[in-house]
């Protein structure tokens, strides 16, 4: 049931579009091309299993974990449940 001037299914269409945009954003951040044999940051050898599992891998598991933790510090999304915080 849509509200206001929105047509039937508009809410679902908006949710679908948001999910598709999120998937595209994540896919655009995936590495491409051949995997490196050694980590770009620390220089240790990247195991063959990791290179085969993740095409285009550039970092060892330890450096990737540190990079992911640093990236997770600020997500850019409002995680508070208050409507007021979303309206400002």
Residue 87 has pLDDT above 60, yes or no: no
Q: What is the pLDDT of residue 81?
A: 58
Q: What is the pLDDT of residue 33?
A: 86
pLDDT in tens, 31-54: 788 999 999 999 999 999 999 988
Local structure of residue 38 (DSSP, 8 states): B
H or E segment and range at residue 33: none
Boundaries of every domain in the chain = 29-70
Burial class (CB in 10 A: 0-12, 13-18, 19+), 48: exposed
pTM above 0.75, yes or no: no
Cβ atoms 39, 46 nearer than 8 A: yes
């Amino acid at each position: 049931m849509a509200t206001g001037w929105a047509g039937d299914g508009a809410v679902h269409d908006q949710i679908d579009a948001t999910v598709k945009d999120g998937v595209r954003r994540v896919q655009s951040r995936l590495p491409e091309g051949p995997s490196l044999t050694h980590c770009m940051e620390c220089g240790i050898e990247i195991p063959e299993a990791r290179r085969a599992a993740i095409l285009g891998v550039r970092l060892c598991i330890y450096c990737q974990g540190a990079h992911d933790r640093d990236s997770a510090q600020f997500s850019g999304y409002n995680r508070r449940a208050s409507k007021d915080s979303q309206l400002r």
